[in-house]
Copies of this chain bind each other. A is one copy, B any other.
Amino acid sequence: MTKTAVEPVEPLRELLKEARPRGPVTLHNVARLANVSAVTVSRALNEPGRVNKKTVQRVLEAVAQTGYVPNLLAGGLRSARSKLVAAIVPSISGGVFAETIQHLTGALARKGYQLLLGQSGFVEGGEDALLDAIIGRRPHGIVLTGIMHSAEGRRRLIASGIPIVETWDLTPTPVDMLVGFSHERLGDEVCRFLVRKGYRRIALISGDDMRARRRHEGFCRAAISENIAMPEVELVASPTNHQKGRLALARVLSRCPDIEAVFCGADALAMGVLTEAQVRGISVPSQLAVVGHGDLNFAATLHPSLTTVHIDYERMANEAAQFIFDRAEGRAIKNRVLDIGFSIVERESA
């Protein structure tokens, strides 16, 4: 190209400079390139319906050309809508919570929200430590695994004004909203189920968390009303796994060789129990019945297949997300507590 220098030398230079700035590309660079104002770019991107089609087109081209990616920190700051939802789980590994998180992430993504993940690690006060870091990001909602027990934590959550959904449990006094099921009732029903099947000497193997304790309470109450012996309880440290299930059954058998059935607080434990029984030549269910909790994907295809308690994780996650969406979009919430229940899935092991 020959140097036939026509007029707009400076403007062009400036335009190019704006189009490919040193630093990160901003709304203004895009606006300059598309020959509109910054607000128009913002609107073209966020509510295209309210902007002229041709303008939107021009903006989109400028975006493509510059590689502009909106700064969500800035947008979130100004609009007080971070498009972020936080979740706190005890631990992501170990099966059950991963399932919830997976569905939650999916439900959120479908609405353009992202998930901020925190792990409280089964420690007392683990949740509290995460709270400031989470509240500080001004998420649209916080999903807790289990109910928040620390008074200080509850206070801070309430003070934050952020929609809170507690899950995996039921309580008459939720911090805000809740979607879960009754562990007490679950323990109760499993007990009656086993009694109905003819088992009377039953052991309980669980992680040492609060929800397990409540299942045990329910179980014991039912045991009394059904007139059978109190169950033999064996607690293992959370998080639970296959090995702990094996060891737990070994300990239970050494104390009570005549046990007829085991109710495990997690399918991973139940799988361990199944393995230990197999190794010892104890036939399931004829010599020992086993019931799990969680209905993880392997439960149906183990051999013998595992009788277990099914919880609809996907629904729990979706309802939790829905609670938050409803709040974010200003819809009234009729019922802040949702009991999604559970069901005992009868298979070969009991």
A-side residues, CB < 8 A to B, are 24, 67, 69-74, 76-77, 82, 84, 91-94, 98-99, 101-102, 105-106, 109, 112, 114-119, 121, 130, 132-138, 156, 159-161, 241-243, 246, 268, 271-272, 275, 278-279, 297-298, 300-303
Contacts and interface: CB of A to CB of B under 8 A. Distances in A.
Nearest to A302: B275
20 contacts: A24-B161, A67-B156, A69-B156, A71-B77, A73-B76, A73-B138, A93-B101, A98-B98, A101-B117, A102-B119, A105-B119, A114-B137, A115-B117, A242-B301, A242-B302, A243-B298, A272-B301, A275-B302, A275-B303, A278-B303
Contacts of A161: 24
B102 A92 contact: yes
A298 B268 contact: yes
B114 A246 contact: no
Contacts of A279: 303
Contacts of A136: 69-72
A303 B294 CA distance: 22
Contacts of A91: 102
A160 B297 CA distance: 39
Minimum-distance CB pairs A-B, first 10: A242-B298, A72-B136, A243-B301, A93-B102, A73-B77, A93-B98, A241-B297, A98-B98, A69-B135, A117-B117
A72 B137 contact: yes
A106 B242 CA distance: 23
Contacts of A242: 297-298, 301-302
B246 A275 contact: no
Given A92-B101, A133-B114, A298 B278 contact: no
A105 B76 contact: no
Contacts of A84: 116
Contacts of A77: 71, 73-74, 77
A196 to B, nearest CB: 28
Given A101-B117, A243-B298, A271-B298, 8 more contacts: A70-B136, A92-B102, A105-B118, A117-B117, A241-B297, A241-B298, A242-B297, A242-B301
A286 B137 CA distance: 57
Contacts of A119: 102, 105-106, 109
Contacts of A303: 275, 278-279
Nearest to A239: B297
A102 B156 CA distance: 26
Interface-central residue, A84, A102, A160, A272, by most chain B CB under 10 Å: A102
Given A73-B137, A138-B71, A98 B105 contact: no
Contacts of A71: 77, 136, 138
Interface-central residue, A92, A101, A105, A118, by most chain B CB under 10 Å: A92
A116 B116 contact: yes
Nearest to A274: B303
A114 B116 CA distance: 7
Nearest to A271: B298
A69 B118 contact: no
A92 to B, nearest CB: 5
Contact of A99 (B93, B106, B300): B93
Contacts of A160: 69
A298 B99 CA distance: 18
